[in-house]
Structure 1
Amino acid sequence: MKLLILLIFCTLSLSAFGQPPLGQHPLGQHVLSGKISLEGQTEPAFGAAVYINELKIGTTADTLGNYLITSIPKGNYTIRISYVSFPTITEKNIRIDKNVTKDFTLKSGENSLDEVVVTGTMKEVSKLDSPVPVDIITAKFIYKNPVPSIFEGLSYVNGVRPQLNCNVCSTGDIHINGLEGPYTMVLIDGMPMVSGLSTVYGLSGIPNSLIDRVEIVKGPASTLYGSEAVGGLINIITKNPSKAPTFSADVFSTSWLDYNVDLGLKLTPSPKVTSLLGISYFNYQNPIDNNKDGFTDLTLQNRISVFNKWSFNLPDNKMANVAIRYYYEDRWGGQMNWNKSYRGGSEVYGESIYTKRYEILGNYQLPTKEKITFQYSFSSHNQNSVYGHVLFNADQKISFAQLLWDKVAGKHNFLFGAPFRYTFYNDNTPATRYSDGRDHADQTFLPGVFVQDEIKMGSHALLLGARYDYNSRHGSIFTPRLAYKIKLNQTDVVRLNIGRGFRIVNLFTEDHAALTGSRQVIVREKLNPEQSWNANINFVKKIVTGNSFVGFDASVFYTYFTNRILPDYDTDPNLIIYDNLNGYAVSKGISLNLDFNFSFPLKIIAGGTFMDNFQSENGIKFRPVLTEKFTGIWAVSYEIQKAGISFDYTGNIYGPMRLPLLSENDPRAAISPIWSLQNIQVTKKFPNGLEFYGGVKNLLNFTPPANSIARSFDPFDKNVTFDPQGQVVSTPDNPNRLTFDPSYVFAPNQGIRGFAGFRYTFH
């Protein structure tokens, strides 16, 4: 808190530029004045900073966008104009030998993209004008701590935590505000491409070179996006081919000898057709066992992803896009002496996963006077995997189509939608085996309709929405939504969002613990769809002082669940029990983000989320496993502009989590410690688009306990004794009644390590 007060005090102090009082102009000194506008916007650039480099004086624009700097000696000067989320303008050799009036227009560009969002309402709006709060991650933010996949990059977003679900194969999912991964929907360019089976593995295969930005909505978004968007959604937006660089490359490696290559190439076959080709390759083949448990600390992987996106300019300014992606991965983890000859056997334990995935997605604006868009996607995900001697082979295909009609009528901005989704799923587990003993694929049809009406009334905006879906297995599902925004002034916004969410569960595609280890899966009853109600209040304020600003973004959230389904690890140490909660569950908390931009080249982003997640069943409240009470993130950046050198210090911190134990005698800690991952990076940029970077990851060298895998020396439980009821019997070799269990995992096993790489961009 003292540090925060000091930072705010320093920021406010920057507004003192040492100018004489207005109207006092010493002899031989002059005035620079004018107006600052924003390209394509009617609102003035209130708070835009105007700074004279040579004199180190400046001012800010008033509520009309006007600025005034007095007492300027005769001479030639460099004027710098900056504004929140717009590229800075620098004009050199401006001659001032009399009173000068000069207007400036700030134009949108690469740095302004984080102010344009589409995920909250399916329409392009500025972030400040969106009635739904949306968090943004730009490619530039990801570069502050280079990672081989967006899965790891989300570690430094407030309230978002990538959760590893297995110590052996290192698969995971994304938690938002403490809610488990299946409550998070992942989209690519607005299409539901990564869901069900692919949620576990698909996040690793999106080329970073093609990511333009990532938009995150916290809280239910089922009214627009349907099932799975209960806890929130992540929309990965790829680059527009027409605006992408001609060529880009990003290559790096770490001291663990893992290698990552991202390549991007733009092609222009004709003036109205552009294409973007991206290739991502990751390879790690260096088994390491630093914690001496006999198992690999990091899963070995060989992964390639190819993404090709085409953009077409149609008559009447209509647009069409189509993209295809192919993804292949071969990953394994297990005992250090494992090789593929042991795959599926009971001699040496290993978890080996082959994944093949194909995707196509696109949209087409119909040649009509009305703004009608047809969106479509198809994905085929095939997985061949073994977990020790347990085989899991699965095939999932998802087809999606949607018609959108965007209609403006007076103060009403309507969006009508008619989505249809078909899901085909088949595996070799009881999930798709009928009572006749035969294997039957699970097929689900999900047609629906939705309507959204955004009503603008001056500084007020009201968004009303409703959706109806008919699930071929569960019947009718209705999800309403309400959002209200009031713009108090040009820097202060308050939002209220209320909505309903629903989720249909497929255990074996979502919960990796159901397949690994020795626990048996028990489904006690027919699992009904989960339902939730969510409310959140969001307040955004931008404090502009001189050539600096502080961004303040705070939210209070509350979600109430019925029919919630979570794995029960506690009732029986040998079982994972699933059933609908006989009671209710609650996720509530408060989130705060701060963004400091100083007049000198220092930027600080910091955030924290405090949450209380619990379930209530039969009058007893308890916290789910692997749910933290608080999280925090930060990113500190400093740039020496003349030298082209920048420094980035990033980090996160997580509060204690309840961990799954096997018995009351389990020697492993029931609660995780407070832990943090911190990184530092130095980057050198050259004028020709080349930059080199290097640094250290996990500065504190934090790793989870060495005994995280229970009985790692006996992964097939050959020396475990069970009684007739299937319970573990205490023996001299196993006094704590343990079985092999790799599900006790809350943090990655990689300790401190160095990294180095280079990027090249050619426009």
Structure 2
Amino acid sequence: MKVIYALCAFLFILVKFSVADDPEKKPKTDAMLFGDVKSEGEHIPFATITIRGTTIGAAADATGHFKMTNLPVGEQTVIISAVGYKTLEKRIKLEAKKSVTILAELTPDVIGLDQVVVSADRNEKSRRESPTIVNSINPKLFERTSNVTLSEGLNFAPGLRMENNCQNCGFSQVRMNGLEGPYSQILINSRPVFSGLAGVYGLELIPANMIERVEVIRGGGSAMYGSNAIAGTINLITKDPVVNNFSVSGNYSLTGAGTDGEVAGDANLNLNGSFISDDYKSGMSLFGFTRKRNPYDANGDGFSEVALIENLTLGTRIFHRISDRGKLTVDYFKINEYRRGGNKFDLPLHESDISESVTHDINTGAVNFDLLMRETDKFSAFFSAQSVNRGSYYGANQDLSAYGETEDFTFSSGLQYNRKIDYLIFAPAALASGLEYNGSFLEDKKLGYYDPEEDTHYGNTLVADQKVVTQAGFLQLEWTLLKWVITAGIRYDHYTVSDVTKESDDITGDVLSPRVSLLYNIADNLQFRTGFAKGFRAPQIFDEDLHIETSGSRKVLHENATDLKQESSNSYTASFDYTNMFGNWQVQFLAEGFFTRLNDPFSNEYGTPDDDGVVVYTRVNAEDGATVKGFNLELNASPSEKLQIQSGFTIQRSEFDEPQEFDETRFFRSPESYGYLSLNYNPVHEFSLAFTGNYSGRMLVPYFGPLAANPEIGQLNTSDSFFDAGIKLTYEIHLSDIMSLEIIGGAKNIFNSYQKDFDTGVDRDPAYIYGPMSPRTIYFGVNIGNFL
């Protein structure tokens, strides 16, 4: 904690230092900038205007005009950006008590060829200039798919696939390049505070309306982001306040419409707003989300396949420009959720035949201070934290001992410095460096109960009391030379894992994670990228350990072997990225190959049920290694602003060197082909039509239910392939120049491409679930928005 206090003190000193440069304490320059933002003769409302090397910014109004006052004098670079357009830079000269007027003509960029990303090196950069491929999922895609939470939207990036792993409670995870969830690092505003406990249900906990965009980096990223970034990183970037606006939307869905199952309602309400001061020095965004989803029973056996959910989320982001070069940002959001799966929902948890239920109270906060030095250099100090309190019940057959309570606190703190260097060794270079101190403290209890038949009180049992602390430092250099961009970086992590419930000593490790990438501009429209990265996973508790699969005949617990050691990886990628304009057509095509070698990979040993039906899955290091290899293909095209097409397809294979369970080398639940398609058509401004589709190929799925030849040994089944298609219609009514009303209707999984062989009854195997997350669903909604 001393490190945290020291960081806070240092942050306070920086703020005081920055305030000393407060423009309000300086004579006002009265230098003014006026502007008019257009594209193809049409004004662009609410474009963002910033001055490079400062925190000064503004936004155009509904007519595309803007005004900025009291600006720093001298040569300045003005940056004008808007969603769907290429960013424009203009060099101007500002003089005291004089005004300058600029006319900004933006070029349409419908498919995001030159979008700005931050995840490659934790600093803003055009995607085309990054030596690492960064895919961005923007709010428009969430709108086209009518996704109310983060989870479903992750299906629309190359190499990513969401899956449901529990028939009772809906425990879900995202797979990247064939590797399961814990191999991907989930970040919130570039900080690793998304804990293992939050990760059990976290991707379905986070509402889509709080997200500005999701950035995805495939391949090893540990040199920048630390443990668990073997498959890649998924960076959730929350909404920034830009202009004064608000919107309210409501949506109601019917899960299972037109199927054999009983239809279940799903209602949600979203609220968004942002407020900016007249001088653009301060701003605040607000978001709220509430949801009530009823349970859905697909096969009529009285047990749910889709869990009940009640969610309430509130959050805010606040910024204050302390000076021309200093900016303080504060984030906070709170999630309260109750979910329950099983049967007899009208009875207490311990009186149902099966119940898997959790209550979440999640608080997440962050403070970030940025200080700009010179025109391009930046220093940052940050502290992010997340606390999760979870009450749980994983039980069957009226089990009073199945109640649990888990508390988790995760934090990430550090300093980062980015600098542009005119010449270093052989070319101009950019430096990214930082120090981090991260930690996670988790306590899991099994709650006691009173047995009236035996007149016995059972006390609480401490299941896990784990502490994970990591000190880290990283350094990365990026050289730009003619057509080449070369990046070389290294990260050092020292981790300590301790658990007072285990007899073994603390587990410690020192890991060096190098990272090298290269970008070569073969031609103006063709780029080649290649890279290598080393990653690791420490032997700690992961999200699946905190989820218990329950049936009337067995209860599955996950444990680490006492001699478990860290898993490491070597990841290689190579890609060709082609972008071009053919008349009005914009086209982008990416072909990427990936190869990851896992050393000492984690594997499960399946135990046999004891007299109480409890079976333990023990995580061990496989004797030999494993490989994951394949191709990602991405095609985006747009002939005009009226039509956009996005698509991606993955072909991969994940397997151990030697046979594991069921004498099989291939990874379970990992299809060898999957992909997505998204098409949006606006024949007129008021009307839009969106079509989406997700394909998932066959996969191997273990089954331990009563229909297996030997339920204790289980059997390995091959699933069907699936194509989940959706359609959405939107009609916009202009109520005034600054307010509009949208009427929305559509359907998901139109053809009900859904699992047909769910296990049934109290003894079912709840982990035997695969395919799309939900059956055919129809929905309708309204959205009203106003720009103040």
Superimposed CA distance per residue, residues 514-561 of structure 1 (whole angstroms, 9 cap, x where no aligned partner): 553423546444221111000001211013211113211110000000
The aligned residue for residue 318 of structure 1 is: 326
Task: Check if 1:647 corresponds to 2:689.
Answer: yes
Superimposed CA distance per residue, residues 371-420 of structure 1 (whole angstroms, 9 cap, x where no aligned partner): 31101101101111111133332111012101001122221111110011
Match of 1:677 among 688, 707, 724: 724
Match of 1:365 among 346, 354, 370: 370
Looking at structure 2, the residues matched to 648 and 245 of structure 1 have their Cα atoms a distance apart, in angstroms, of 28
Task: Check if 1:383 corresponds to 2:390.
Answer: yes
Residue range with higher mean Cα deviation, 421-430 or 147-156: 421-430
Cα contact 1:209–1:248 (8 A) shared by 2: no
Looking at structure 1, the residues matched to 774 and 140 of structure 2 have their Cα atoms a distance apart, in angstroms, of 25
Task: Check if 1:295 corresponds to 2:326.
Answer: no
Superposition deviation, residue 510 in structure 1: 2.9
The aligned residue for residue 359 of structure 2 is: 354
Match runs of 1:167-246 below 5 Å = 167-241=167-241, 243-246=242-245
Task: Check if 1:409 corresponds to 2:388.
Answer: no
Gaps of 5+ in 1: 1-31, 33-38, 43-81, 90-102, 431-436, 716-739
Looking at structure 2, the residues matched to 116 and 248 of structure 1 have their Cα atoms a distance apart, in angstroms, of 25
What amino acid does structure 2 have at the position aligned with 1:689?
A: S
Superimposed CA distance per residue, residues 336-387 of structure 1 (whole angstroms, 9 cap, x where no aligned partner): x23352x245x52111110111111131024877631101101101111111
Superposition deviation, residue 150 in structure 1: 0.8
Cα contact 1:569–1:661 (8 A) shared by 2: no
The aligned residue for residue 750 of structure 2 is: 699
What amino acid does structure 2 have at the position aligned with 1:564?
A: P
Superposition deviation, residue 492 in structure 1: 1.2
Distance of aligned partners of 1:762 and 1:505 in 2 relative to their CA distance in 1, 3 Å threshold: farther
The aligned residue for residue 595 of structure 2 is: 558
Normalized against structure 1, the TM-score is what? 0.78
The aligned residue for residue 593 of structure 1 is: 634
Looking at structure 2, the residues matched to 161 and 479 of structure 1 have their Cα atoms a distance apart, in angstroms, of 26
Match of 2:439 among 422, 426, 430: 422
The aligned residue for residue 54 of structure 1 is: none
The aligned residue for residue 451 of structure 1 is: 475
Superposition deviation, residue 689 in structure 1: 2.7
The aligned residue for residue 66 of structure 2 is: none
Match of 2:533 among 476, 493, 499: 499
The alignment covers a number of residue pairs equal to: 636
The aligned residue for residue 544 of structure 1 is: 581
Residue range with higher mean Cα deviation, 624-633 or 522-531: 522-531
Looking at structure 2, the residues matched to 537 and 247 of structure 1 have their Cα atoms a distance apart, in angstroms, of 43
Distance of aligned partners of 1:690 and 1:578 in 2 relative to their CA distance in 1, 3 Å threshold: same
Distance of aligned partners of 1:474 and 1:121 in 2 relative to their CA distance in 1, 3 Å threshold: same
Cα contact 2:284–2:319 (8 A) shared by 1: yes
The aligned residue for residue 118 of structure 1 is: 118
Superimposed CA distance per residue, residues 61-87 of structure 1 (whole angstroms, 9 cap, x where no aligned partner): xxxxxxxxxxxxxxxxxxxxx999527
What amino acid does structure 2 have at the position aligned with 1:695?
A: G
The aligned residue for residue 7 of structure 1 is: none
Q: What secondary structure sits across from 2:468 in the alignment?
A: strand
Cα contact 2:549–2:766 (8 A) shared by 1: no
Distance of aligned partners of 1:695 and 1:449 in 2 relative to their CA distance in 1, 3 Å threshold: same
Superposition deviation, residue 111 in structure 1: 8.0
Q: What secondary structure sits across from 2:621 in the alignment?
A: coil
What amino acid does structure 2 have at the position aligned with 1:586?
A: T
Task: Check if 1:489 corresponds to 2:523.
Answer: yes
Cα contact 2:394–2:550 (8 A) shared by 1: yes
The aligned residue for residue 153 of structure 1 is: 153
Q: What secondary structure sits across from 1:295 in the alignment?
A: coil
Looking at structure 2, the residues matched to 379 and 636 of structure 1 have their Cα atoms a distance apart, in angstroms, of 37
Superimposed CA distance per residue, residues 448-507 of structure 1 (whole angstroms, 9 cap, x where no aligned partner): 111000011121110000011111232211100001001123211111110001112434
What amino acid does structure 1 have at the position aligned with 2:495?
A: N
Q: What secondary structure sits across from 2:389 in the alignment?
A: strand
Match runs of 1:49-68 below 5 Å = none
Task: Check if 1:279 corresponds to 2:288.
Answer: yes
Cα contact 2:111–2:644 (8 A) shared by 1: no
Task: Check if 1:399 corresponds to 2:411.
Answer: yes
Superposition deviation, residue 88 in structure 1: 12
Superimposed CA distance per residue, residues 64-117 of structure 1 (whole angstroms, 9 cap, x where no aligned partner): xxxxxxxxxxxxxxxxxx99952799xxxxxxxxxxxxx983269998697101
Normalized against structure 2, the TM-score is what? 0.76
Distance of aligned partners of 1:111 and 1:758 in 2 relative to their CA distance in 1, 3 Å threshold: farther
Q: Percent identity?
A: 26
Looking at structure 1, the residues matched to 433 and 761 of structure 2 have their Cα atoms a distance apart, in angstroms, of 58
Cα contact 2:444–2:462 (8 A) shared by 1: no
Cα contact 1:266–1:276 (8 A) shared by 2: yes
Distance of aligned partners of 1:141 and 1:714 in 2 relative to their CA distance in 1, 3 Å threshold: closer
Residue range with higher mean Cα deviation, 746-755 or 403-412: 746-755
Q: What secondary structure sits across from 1:469 in the alignment?
A: strand
Distance of aligned partners of 1:580 and 1:677 in 2 relative to their CA distance in 1, 3 Å threshold: same
The aligned residue for residue 702 of structure 2 is: 660
Superimposed CA distance per residue, residues 268-294 of structure 1 (whole angstroms, 9 cap, x where no aligned partner): 366311101100111113x43231232
Looking at structure 1, the residues matched to 632 and 246 of structure 2 have their Cα atoms a distance apart, in angstroms, of 39
The aligned residue for residue 14 of structure 1 is: none
Superposition deviation, residue 691 in structure 1: 1.4
Superposition deviation, residue 163 in structure 1: 1.5
Looking at structure 2, the residues matched to 419 and 515 of structure 1 have their Cα atoms a distance apart, in angstroms, of 36
Task: Check if 1:469 corresponds to 2:486.
Answer: no
Looking at structure 2, the residues matched to 365 and 527 of structure 1 have their Cα atoms a distance apart, in angstroms, of 40
The aligned residue for residue 138 of structure 2 is: 138
Task: Check if 1:509 corresponds to 2:543.
Answer: yes
Cα contact 2:176–2:231 (8 A) shared by 1: yes
Cα contact 1:562–1:585 (8 A) shared by 2: yes
Cα contact 1:645–1:683 (8 A) shared by 2: yes
The aligned residue for residue 48 of structure 1 is: none
Task: Check if 1:690 corresponds to 2:741.
Answer: yes
Superimposed CA distance per residue, residues 219-255 of structure 1 (whole angstroms, 9 cap, x where no aligned partner): 11111110111111111111221x1551022221112
What amino acid does structure 2 have at the position aligned with 1:296?
A: S
Cα contact 2:495–2:509 (8 A) shared by 1: yes
Cα contact 1:464–1:481 (8 A) shared by 2: yes
Looking at structure 2, the residues matched to 615 and 757 of structure 1 have their Cα atoms a distance apart, in angstroms, of 47
Looking at structure 1, the residues matched to 535 and 416 of structure 2 have their Cα atoms a distance apart, in angstroms, of 21
Looking at structure 1, the residues matched to 586 and 421 of structure 2 have their Cα atoms a distance apart, in angstroms, of 37
Superposition deviation, residue 161 in structure 1: 1.0
Distance of aligned partners of 1:675 and 1:611 in 2 relative to their CA distance in 1, 3 Å threshold: same
CA RMSD of aligned residues (A): 3.1
Looking at structure 2, the residues matched to 112 and 156 of structure 1 have their Cα atoms a distance apart, in angstroms, of 15
Looking at structure 1, the residues matched to 215 and 595 of structure 2 have their Cα atoms a distance apart, in angstroms, of 21
Match runs of 1:526-537 below 5 Å = 526-537=563-574
Match runs of 1:334-353 below 5 Å = 334-335=342-343, 337-341=344-348, 343-344=349-350, 348-353=353-358
Looking at structure 1, the residues matched to 562 and 720 of structure 2 have their Cα atoms a distance apart, in angstroms, of 35
Gaps of 5+ in 2: 1-39, 41-48, 53-80, 89-102, 255-263, 423-427, 448-460, 497-506
Cα contact 2:394–2:548 (8 A) shared by 1: no
The aligned residue for residue 77 of structure 2 is: none
